[in-house]
Chain A
Amino acid sequence: MAIYGTALLALCTLIGVALGEALGMALHVKANVGGVGIAMMLLIAARLWLARTGRLTPGLKLGVEFWAFMYIPIVVAMAAQQNVLAALEGGPMAVLTGVVVVAICFGLVALLSRTAGTHHD
Chain B
Amino acid sequence: MIEIAHKVIADQSLVLAFAAVGALMWISAMLSRLLFAGRIHASAIAIMAALALAWYGGIITGGKKGLADVPAFAGLLLMGGAMLRDFAIVATAFEVDPIEARKAGLLGAFALLLGTVVPFAVGAGIAWSFGYRDAVSLATLGAGAVTYIVGPVTGAALGASSPVMALSIATGVLKAVLVMATTPMAARFMGLNNPRSAMIFGGLAGTVSGVAGGLAATDEKLVPYGALTATFHTGLGCLLAPSVLFLIVKAVV
A residues lining the B interface (CB < 8 Å): 9-10, 12-13, 16-17, 20, 23, 27, 29-41, 43-44, 47-48, 61, 64-68, 70-91, 93-102, 104-106, 108-110, 112-117, 120-121
Question: In whole angstroms, what is the CA distance A32 to B159 when docked?
Answer: 10
Whether A81 contacts B163 by the Cβ 8 Å rule is no
Name the segment of B1-9, B32-40, B146-154 touching the other chain: B146-154
Once A76-B43, A99-B178 are accepted as A-B contacts, the answer to whether A31 and B242 lie under 8 Å apart by CB is yes
Whether A84 contacts B58 by the Cβ 8 Å rule is yes
Q: Which residue of A lies closest to B153 (CB)?
A: A36
Chain B residues in 8 Å Cβ range of A13: 86-87, 90
B residues lining the A interface (CB < 8 Å): 17-18, 21-22, 24-25, 43, 46-47, 50-55, 57-59, 64-68, 73, 76-77, 79-81, 84-96, 98, 107, 110-111, 114-115, 118-119, 122-123, 126-127, 130, 141, 144-145, 148-149, 152-153, 157-159, 162-167, 169-171, 173-175, 178-179, 182, 186, 189-192, 194, 196-197, 200-201, 204-206, 209, 235-240, 242-243, 246-247, 250
Question: In whole angstroms, what is the CA distance A81 to B167 when docked?
Answer: 13
Once A82-B169, A86-B163 are accepted as A-B contacts, the answer to whether A16 and B90 lie under 8 Å apart by CB is yes
Interface hub of A23, A81, A106 (most chain B Cβ within 10 A): A81
Chain A residues in 8 Å Cβ range of B130: 90, 93
Question: In whole angstroms, what is the CA distance A98 to B86 when docked?
Answer: 24
Whether B66 contacts A84 by the Cβ 8 Å rule is yes
Whether A83 contacts B243 by the Cβ 8 Å rule is no
For this complex, 9 residue pairs linking A to B, each with C-beta atoms less than 8 Å apart, are: A31-B246, A36-B239, A40-B90, A67-B88, A73-B22, A80-B68, A86-B162, A101-B123, A102-B179
